[in-house]
Amino acid sequence: MILGSYTYKFYSYAVGPGASGSGYDGVTSAGMPDIIKFTDNTYRMYYGVALSTPVSGATTAIKSATSSDGVTWTVESGYRLLGDGDGDSGADGIPANEKLISAPNIIKVSNGTYRMYYQAQSQGATPPDFVKSATSTDGTTWTREGTRIDTENGSQNQTAFSIAAQTSVIRYSDSDYVILLSANYQKAATQPSDLVIGTSTDGLTFSNFSVLYTDGHDPGVVNLENGSGYWMFFGHLTERQRVAFSSDGRSWQAYSQTTETIQQNSAGTEVKEVSSTESPADRQPLEVNGEIWLYMNWNTSVALLRPV
């Protein structure tokens, strides 16, 4: 399976302070998106935001927007989830280790319920990331479920993660799941993560972890509509964006060629950059009309990149 193009070009801002439209008051940045496609060919994007004005004490949240074409997005009112606002598990009922929340990843289970996996951490200099989850019957009102993958930063347990963050979960059935995530077994949470793969029989408890790509991180996966398999876009350190293909979501082949992003330099000239001045990670792929579009962190917003 060959990717149509490894070269992508900025097309427009999708959501965030740089995008057109309303719904960004009080939002200083938006990023780490995930997108679900409905049967009527419309879309909902979930993304993390930083808030300039705290809401019930929270300074981070997960919001959503809808689109009929993948280009123009309408922000939905309210928040899908708010971060912890009181520093404990007290009045707001939100755990203190969810002060900073982002990187939503949405799946749908057989009863029509949605499950969101997201990364969370407490406030601090080098707090560890955890993978949490929440459920919803309509995609807008969510109920927290708790911790899916925990961390033990600084412990002597060499089989425990010190980082567990940004996930892409593939559901085959209600008893068969694969998870791809940024994680490592180092004692210090500041060490580079690896791209790790694991499995689950219920979507709640994950195990059988192994390193898929050393120094990889932030996987974004698209399930191709023709049923041929999955493309994964992931970062490699801070240097480049790599791609991998899998026919089943379990065994992956990474390609040596990296994606390139066309950007404008200070003189306004378009140049190709393998190592982007923007984040080489946090790119969520979406298949639209036979093309793979990418949504990525760009400045303080989520940008749409299209292949050229």
The CATH number linked to 148 is 2.115.10.20
Q: Which of 32-36, 46-50, 174-178, 259-263 has the lowest mean pLDDT?
A: 259-263
Q: Which domain holds residue 52?
A: 14-225
The number of distinct structural domains making up the chain is: 1
**Residue 94 domain flag:** yes
**Residue 73 domain flag:** yes
Q: Which of 3-7, 69-73, 204-208, 232-236 has the lowest mean pLDDT?
A: 3-7
**Residue 50 domain flag:** yes
pLDDT tops 60 at residue 21: yes
Q: Encode burial over 26-59: b for 16+ CB neighbours within 10 A, e otherwise.
A: ebebbbbbbbbbeeeeebbbbbbbbbeeeeeebb
User: What local confidence, expressed as pLDDT, does residue 94 receive?
Assistant: 86
pLDDT tops 50 at residue 306: yes
119-131: per-residue pLDDT in tens? 998 866 466 789 9
Residue showing tokens 């404008």:
264
The answer, as to whether pTM is greater than 0.75, is: yes
Dump the DSSP string for the chain.
---S-SEEEEEEEEESTTSSSS--TTEEEEEEEEEEE-TTS-EEEEEEEEEEEEETTEEEEEEEEEESSSSS-EEPSS-SEE--SSSSSSTT---GGGSEEEEEEEEE-TTS-EEEEEEEE-SSSSPPPEEEEEEESSSSS-EEEEEEE---TT-S-TTS-SEEEEEEEEEEETTEEEEEEEEE--SSTTSPPEEEEEEESSSSSEEEEEEEETTEEEEEEEE-TTSS-EEEEEEETTTEEEEEEESSSSS-EE-SSPPEEEEE-TTS-EEEESS-SS-SS-EEEEEETTEEEEEEEETTEEEEEEE-
Q: Yes or no: say if 199 and 210 are a contact pair by the CB < 8 Å rule.
A: no
Give the pair of three-digit tokens for residue 182. 């940024």
User: What local confidence, expressed as pLDDT, does residue 230 receive?
Assistant: 97
Q: Yes or no: say if 166 and 182 are a contact pair by the CB < 8 Å rule.
A: yes
**Residue 33 domain flag:** yes
**Residue 52 domain flag:** yes
**Residue 175 domain flag:** yes
Which residues lie closer than 8 Å to 236 by C-beta, 6 or more apart? 213, 215, 216, 217, 242, 258, 280
pLDDT tops 50 at residue 277: no
Q: Report which listed range, 158-162, 205-209, 304-308, is most confident.
A: 205-209
pLDDT tops 50 at residue 101: yes
Q: Which of 49-53, 69-73, 226-230, 267-271 has the lowest mean pLDDT?
A: 267-271
Q: How far is Cα 48 from Cα 96, in angstroms, rounded to an integer?
A: 18
**Residue 76 domain flag:** yes
Its sign, for the CA torsion 126, 131, 134, 138, is positive
pLDDT band at 258 (very low <50, low <70, confident <90, very high): confident
Q: How many CB atoms lie within 10 A of CB 21?
A: 12
User: What local confidence, expressed as pLDDT, does residue 108 receive?
Assistant: 96
**Residue 79 domain flag:** yes
